[in-house]
Amino acid sequence: KCRTGPLDIVFVIDSSRSVRPFEFETMRRFMMDIIGSLDVGPNATRVGVIQYSSQVQNIFSLKTFFTRADMEKAINSIVPLAQGTMTGLAIQYAMNVAFTTQEGARPLHKKIPRIAIIVTDGRPQDRVTEVATQARNAGIEIYAVGIQRADMNSLRAMASPPLEEHVFLVESFELIQQFGKQFQDKLCGVDMCVEQEHGCQHSCVSTPSSFYCECNPGYRLNADGKTCSPIDACADGRHGCQHQCVSARGSYSCRCRAGYSLNQDKRTCSMINYCSFGNHSCQHECVSIPSGHYCRCRSGFTLQPDGRSCRATDLCNGVDHGCEFKCVSTEGSYRCVCPEGQQLQADGKACSKCGAGHVDLVMVIDGSKSVRPQNFELVKQFVNRIVDLLEVSPHGTRVGLVQYSSRVRTEFPLNKYHSADEIKKAVMEVEYMEKGTMTGLALKHMVEHSFSELEGARPLSHNIPRIGLVFTDGRSQDDISEWARRAKESGIVMFAVGVGKAVEEELRAIASEPVEQHFSYSADFTTMTHLVENFKLNICPEEGKGEMEIRSPCECEALVQFQTNTVAILQSLTEKNILWAHSLAQMTTRLEDLEKQIANKK
């Protein structure tokens, strides 16, 4: 057997038409005799076979078989191609495909010899010199075996130096089997690890003409190529251990710090839950830490000296609660209460008699192209004058704003801002949308989103009035009837304000009952004062449902106050427009006088 160490050998066999069937059989025998002398296996010598004529065919690659029996079976099943003799093409295939790591060749840094044995009987029909040089430069050692009619110059052009050791010419196919035995000795050579002092610290691996040193598992070869050093598997930082990496002869293991346990992935750590052991005796909560555990009380309770039990804390006596009338302690907190007939204010501390009350107000304004930019600014001013008169706070009145044209956009929801200044600033930053008038789509958005608890509407059970104010200046381009009905059915008090080309029929469909008190119309934006006159009458919500028999009278007063304030705002805007119109008339008169004077001078 050949004992010189592992090799990667690929047979490149000529099966052109000049090789007769019985001659090809001797080539099969030649390959099997060579394989029979090799120590084959995944970690020993690997063997591949390709045949060629006018094309190249892979019989089996270096990674296909690792036993001689499987290799011999595959060799016996070869069907010759019987065409031309494209030896250069076959060498190209061996270099680019057969000797790649994908096909089973060991990486070059392992220094395992790559050997190509080319067996041919004729002159190549393509060029071999250049491609053979490339193959040799790529680290492939080429043996060229010519039989009978082979061209010696081509064999010498293909083979590796020294040529006398890599070029062979056999006179006939009958002699190739005898030559095979001689070739085995040439291929295997002597065991260089035995013939000379190799100096390897761990083990020596012999090759056909030299040797190299290898280290035991867990060690790496030093730069001198002979001595070995232990591999610190933790040093490269790729171990993935969350806490600590422990190196051990080329391998490693992960370890956790005290108070942590290693997870199933053998890399990450989890803190040990000492509370899960069930022996902490904490009255309220057990808190686990790396060094053990401690007990903790819920908010409003104090941990006792035993470190386990808790006692309630009377926060009304222990803090500056600021309640105007009375402080009531609860578990872990407190609350302020007011005497009967008075309401707790938005600050949660002060008391007062029923005042402006609270509502959830969503204003839906038309931003279509017909409104025009200058009029849209008047609408924004109108919105802000209303906000000035509202008691805006998280527990008081909440305001949301929606603009629509061909689409709908929430400018800010009910729970976005908590003061009048914040809302007014946001209103002035609203950008004019232009385009169409999809009032129905806006109503749908208001019902499904604007008055949802997610966007800040108080639950219906709190009996906070919900008011929707729709402002439009033209006919809707979609149907409004269904969502106007749904809005009112969901408990929203709907007001409809129309300007310019707004359609009365649509305004009436939007408005709540009685319709006459919930919709208004004006011919243009400069005469909007009277639009809210109808807000003064009968706007109290319907009777409450469930446990409450009727809604708070304060809420009714709030709606009345809301309408009164709106009238005042519109009157102020109208007065400013009247003054502007008067000034414009004076300027027009003066211009006419100047024109007359110029005409007289001419």
Share of the chain above pLDDT 90, in %: 41
Report the domain count for the chain. 2
pLDDT tens digits for range 179-191: 666 566 666 656 6
Instruction: Classify the C-alpha dihedral 32-36-41-43 as positive or negative.
Output: negative
Task: With respect to residue 528, please indicate whether it lies within any of the assigned structural domains.
Answer: yes
- What tens digit of pLDDT does each residue of 275-333 get? 988 888 899 999 988 888 899 998 778 889 999 998 887 777 767 788 877 888 876 67
Better-predicted residue by pLDDT, 355 or 109:
109
State the average pLDDT over residues 50-78. 96
Tokens of 457: 């509407």
Q: Residue 520 sits in a domain of what CATH number? A: 3.40.50.410
Q: What is the length of the chain?
A: 602
* Residue 248 lies inside a defined structural domain of this protein: no
Write the pLDDT tens digit of every residue in 128-137: 999 999 999 9
Provide the pLDDT for residue 180.
Answer: 60
CA 557, CA 552: separation in Å to the nearest integer?
A: 9
Q: Is the peptide bond before 217 cis (omega within 30 degrees of 0)?
A: no
What does the pLDDT read at residue 552? 44
Question: Is the full-model pTM beyond 0.75?
Answer: no
Within a domain: residue 109? yes
Q: Confidence band (pLDDT; 50, 70, 90) for 535?
A: very low
- CA-nearest of 261, 308, 311 to 286 is 308
Identify the pLDDT of residue 438. 94
Domain boundary among 536, 551, 571: 536
- Average pLDDT for 195-214: 82
pLDDT at 549 over 50: no
* Containing structural domain, residue 72: 7-188
- Does some domain include residue 567? no
Q: Would residue 165 count as lying in a domain?
A: yes
The answer to whether position 282 is within a domain reads: no
Per-residue pLDDT, averaged over 90-114, amounts to 94
pLDDT at 386: 74
Tokens of 420: 């009048």
**Mean pLDDT across the chain, nearest whole number?**
82
The token duo for 328 is 């009531």
> What pLDDT is stored for residue 544 in this prediction?
32
Name the domain boundary from 161, 188, 215: 188
Flag whether 430 is in a domain: yes
Task: Report strand pairing: 167-170 vs 326-330.
Answer: unpaired
Reported as a single tens digit per residue, the pLDDT across 471-519 is 888 888 999 999 999 999 999 999 888 887 778 888 899 998 888 878 8
Pairing of strands 492-499, 466-472: parallel
Helix (H, G, I), strand (E, B) or coil at 265: coil
CB count within 10 Å of CB 333 equals 11
Residue that is last in its domain, among 536, 560, 587 = 536
